Amino acid sequence: MPSPEAPALLHSSFYRFHPLADPAAAAEQVRALAQGLRGPIVLAAEGISGAVAGTPAAVAAFEAALQACGLFGPRPLVFKHSPCRTPPFGRLKVSVKPEIVALGLPQAQALPVPDEHDDSHLSPQAWRELLARGDAVLLDNRNNFEWRLGRFRGATDPSVHHFRDFVAYVEAHAPQWRAENRPVAMYCTGGVRCDKTAPWMRSLGLQVFQLDGGIMNFFQALQDEEGAAQRDWEGECFVFDKRIALDPRLQETGTPPEAVFDPTHPDEAWRLARARRLDDA
């Protein structure tokens, strides 16, 4: 069988929790490495999170340079890839913020630094084995509109419109989960929200497992197994760019923003307006 053609544009997402003494200086260095690509990259004292798109060659060069620059520790960065028909971003934006993902966790300053490589991170195969046992709480760590569009079969929706909704949901249910001795199997799109949340959830006495690399890694890892991802996943996966949604084959679905966001809900109305602006950009 001939090899599939390389996409004209490749999307690459990544993050790393690693302390940065001077995030502003790191941002300047990353900005220089990312010239010729488009997408948002956020740096903070806790590390980096970003997504870029460009030709496969340009993306590969950026990834190699980012790894080699030495800013983010010796362990290899993990990049999750998906092809693009639609250019996902209008421009390159490298910014410095207080957090790479702002979740407003209670007592966040007292929590351990997230460890992306601890043994709570389950490979796609180990994740499937855990879910097959049937004793875990399968918790979706994303927004409600993302859950509506697509989810792992049997996943619990915490009905998140603001991240404080997730905190309140976990705090309300943690006593029951502890009493029942049920582990929590948690997932998000790329892994960063789960990594940020897991130390706080463990501080509540919960046993927490995470899907390593999130939904994108799950889809990517199962590309060679015909229909494998679809057996565990139903619907589409929302992505925060102009493509809107991907199917388990990492292909754009053509779903418009009007089919994702509920304009009667204030939090989703502004997201719909932003998506329409991005579409016109």
Q: Active-site positions?
A: 188
In Å, how far from its chain's centre is CA 137?
A: 20
- 51 SS3 class: strand
- Least Cα distance to 109 among 120, 121, 98, 119 occurs for 98
> How far is the C-alpha of 106 from the C-alpha of 96, rounded, in Å?
22
> How far is the C-alpha of 246 from the C-alpha of 182, rounded, in Å?
31
> How far is the C-alpha of 53 from the C-alpha of 210, rounded, in Å?
26
54 class by beta-carbon count within 10 Å (0-12 exposed, 13-18 middle, 19+ buried): buried
Backbone angles phi, psi at 149, to 5 degrees: -70, -35
Measure CA of the first residue to CA of the last residue in the chain; give whole Å.
Answer: 39
Which residue type, as a one-letter code, is found at position 141?
N
| Backbone CA torsion sign across 129, 135, 139, 145 | positive
Between helices 214-221 and 124-133, what is the axis angle to 10°? 100
